Amino acid sequence: MTFTRDTALGVLRLTLVTVFLAFGYVKFFPFEADGVEPLIAAHPLLSWLLPAFGKAGASAFLGIVEITAGLLLLAGFRSRIASLTGGLLTLVTFAITVTLFLFIPRVFEASAGGFPAISGTGGFLLKDAVLFAAGLMFVADPLPASINSTALTTTTT
């Protein structure tokens, strides 16, 4: 079986859509609001959400952003603008979560000597570096080549 670049990008797109929709969905439940509250409080770009919306509202706000990113990426199968916008939102989302390494305690495991041994929290955040890179694909190349060639081809008579 041979995989094409377009197939790989399609699988990557669907994977990001699934990640965003799944993580966005759970942001509306108390268990997730409890879990993300310390992360929101620790990040200077997110901490304003807690006084503005409360714990549940801040979590729901993030859920709306994540679901929006997922839906934009899904629409990106057919729309260059949706793909680019979803890719940009992916970059912002995962850049913020990766930078949590700078703001929260215990991302490195003290019992293993600290850096470079990452903790469970550190590992959870580190995977977002890969998701950030995936977002770059949809900023750099918003649509599969087959759609790009069709959309960019013009005929002159």
- Residues 99-108 have pLDDT tens digits of 998 998 888 8
Q: How far apart are CA 98 and CA 105, in angstroms?
A: 14
Q: How far is CA 46 from CA 20, 26, 81, 103, in A?
A: 18, 18, 26, 11
Give the pair of three-digit tokens for residue 74: 């899904």
As a whole number, the mean pLDDT across the chain is 88
The pLDDT of residue 146 is above 60? no
Maximum CA pair distance of the chain?
72
Q: How far is CA 21 from CA 27, 28, 63, 70, 135, in A?
A: 10, 12, 8, 6, 15
CB atoms within 10 A of CB 157: 2
* Between 143 and 4, residue with greater pLDDT: 4
Return the bridge partners of 118, or none. 108
The pLDDT of residue 49 is above 60? yes
The pLDDT of residue 13 is above 90? yes
CB 89 within 8 A of CB 104: no
- pLDDT above 70 coverage of the chain, percent: 89
pLDDT of residue 1: 66
26-47 tens-digit pLDDT: 999 999 999 999 999 999 999 9
Q: How far is CA 79 from CA 18, 45, 82, 151, in A?
A: 18, 30, 5, 10
Q: How far apart are CA 110 and CA 61, in angstroms?
A: 33
Q: Which amino acid is at 92?
A: V
CB 106 within 8 A of CB 119: yes
pLDDT of residue 148: 46
CB 98 within 8 A of CB 129: yes
The pLDDT of residue 12 is above 70? yes
pLDDT of residue 140: 85
